[in-house]
Amino acid sequence: MQQNKTARGSTIARGSTIARGSTIARGSTIARGSTIARGSTIARGSVFCVHSWKGINQMAERDVLDLLAESGSYPYLSSLGNLFLRPGMPLLNAESLEMIREALTARFQDISEARTEIKRRRGELKDSKPIREWVKEERPRELLMAKGAPALPLAKLLAILLRTGRDGTSAEELAQQILTRYGSLRALDDAPLRELCKIRGIGLAKAAQIQAAFELGKRLSSERAPLLMHIKSPQDAARYVAGWYAPHLRDARKESFHVIFLNGKNQPIDRKKLSEGTVNASLVDPAEVIREASQRSALALILVHNHPSGDPQPSAEDISLTRSLAEVCQLVGIKVLDHIVVGKNEEDIFSFKGSGLL
């Protein structure tokens, strides 16, 4: 079409080209595949088909509301009356947004009514029902109350933690997607907060809930460790370290060095992290170890550090450091009972004393 004005109610066929400066009358239908040049005037009430844009981009095939519902975009008006979408739609320019604004304001007195209608239409597009509409016996919380937490699969437990899903996806389906993505709880626990926030449906609040739950589990494990047990053997030392430190150290990305301080009866009285290094090294100052022990009147120590590689076998540097610390501490009457190296798995714990290296 060249510089034309269409009659009201006209239909512009698929593949047509609308030249710059043309006027499209109210009520016209513009078919998919048409090209609309910049500068054309399209009256309110016209219906646009998907991919019929050049300079005006995409609109809805049947209705603007359908397009917004399918894309999950909700319209808002700025203080200046300009329309914007959350989340935004790709390839929409200012002209497209203005046309959407005109279509919505012509139909709704308040833009919030448009959002309500879009939400309703999105509900019709859902492939699954929200958990509240499930059979009662299959809802995660009701199942937990009936059978107890140990009976629930991981996806249902995580769904209870998440509480809600996202449009078209229940909390349990979202939980299953997360578990599939990471493959294990340990990998999920190791995921940084920023990475979790990038998952669709997982904002800062849900990501924080996930990390807080893992931390609570670790602290519960530490609380269950014996508090005033007597360290009489390498097995006692390994068991104590497994309770207090292993939950935090097994998946740590950096090597860190810790000291357990004991009294004259070889009972633990305090613990402290003295250094944190890179992926494969931590720096320990013997003078600091002695100073911290003296402040607590400790007469014995257990050294602890982790290997991010997962292999608990000590390196030559580990052996040299341990012997050096033991010799220096002995000079001031403090005994190094053991040095425990924590690896990746529960059984990956190495005892210097138990292996004859101390």
Say what the pLDDT of residue 263 is.
Answer: 92
Contact 293, 329 (CB under 8 A): yes
pTM of the predicted protein model? 0.47
Please check whether residues 18 and 118 belong to one and the same domain.
Answer: yes
Mark 123-137 as b/e (b = at least 16 C-beta within 10 Å): eeeeeeeebeeeeee
Instruction: Output the six-digit token pair for 153.
Output: 């699969």
Distance between first and last Cα of the chain: 92
Residue 331's pLDDT is 93
Give the DSSP H or E segment for 330. helix 316-331
The pLDDT > 70 percentage for the chain reads 73
pLDDT of residue 34: 57
Between strands 17-18 and 35-36, the pairing is: parallel
Cis peptide bond prior to 150, omega within 30° of 0 = no
User: What is the per-residue pLDDT for 297?
Assistant: 92
Calculate mean pLDDT across residues 254-281.
85
Q: For 305-354, what is each residue's pLDDT tens digit?
A: 999 888 999 999 999 999 999 999 999 999 999 999 998 887 888 999 99
* Range with lowest mean pLDDT among 5-9, 117-121, 172-176, 222-226: 5-9
Please tell me the total count of domains within the chain: 3
What pLDDT does 59 receive? 45
The string of pLDDT tens digits covering residues 37-59 is 544 555 444 444 433 333 333 44
Identify whether 357 is part of a domain: no
Query: Is 227 part of any domain?
Result: no
Q: Is 300 helix (H, G, I), strand (E, B) or coil?
A: strand
Residue 358 in domain:
no
Structure tokens at 332: 């001031």
Query: Over pLDDT 90: what percentage of the chain?
Result: 23
Would 174 be classed as within a structural domain?
Answer: yes
CB atoms within 10 A of CB 82: 12
Query: Average pLDDT, whole number, for the chain?
Result: 78
Q: Choose the weakest-confidence range: 59-63, 171-175, 266-270, 307-311.
A: 59-63
Same domain, 17 and 115: yes
Q: Which residues pair with 76 in a beta bridge?
A: 84
Domain limits at 44?
A: 11-125
Rounded Cα distance between 146 and 155, Å, is: 17
Mean pLDDT score, 151-176: 86
* Alpha carbon 358 to chain centroid, angstroms: 43
Which of 240, 162, 231 minimizes the C-alpha distance to 201? 162
Residue 350 and residue 340 in contact, taking contact as beta carbons nearer than 8 Å: yes
CB-based contacts of 133, cutoff 8 Å, min separation 6: none
* 229 within a domain of the structure (yes/no): no
**Going by C-beta distance under 8 Å and a sequence separation of 6 or more, which residues neighbour residue 338?**
231, 234, 237, 302, 303, 351, 352, 353, 354, 358
Binned at pLDDT 50, 70 and 90, residue 12 comes out as: low
Report the pLDDT value the prediction gives residue 330, as an integer from 0 to 100: 93
Residue pLDDT, tens place only, 99-122? 888 888 888 889 999 899 888 877
Do residues 205 and 291 share a domain? no
Q: List the CATH number of the domain containing 267.
A: 3.40.140.10
Burial class from Cβ neighbours inside 10 Å (0-12, 13-18, 19+) for residue 7 reads exposed
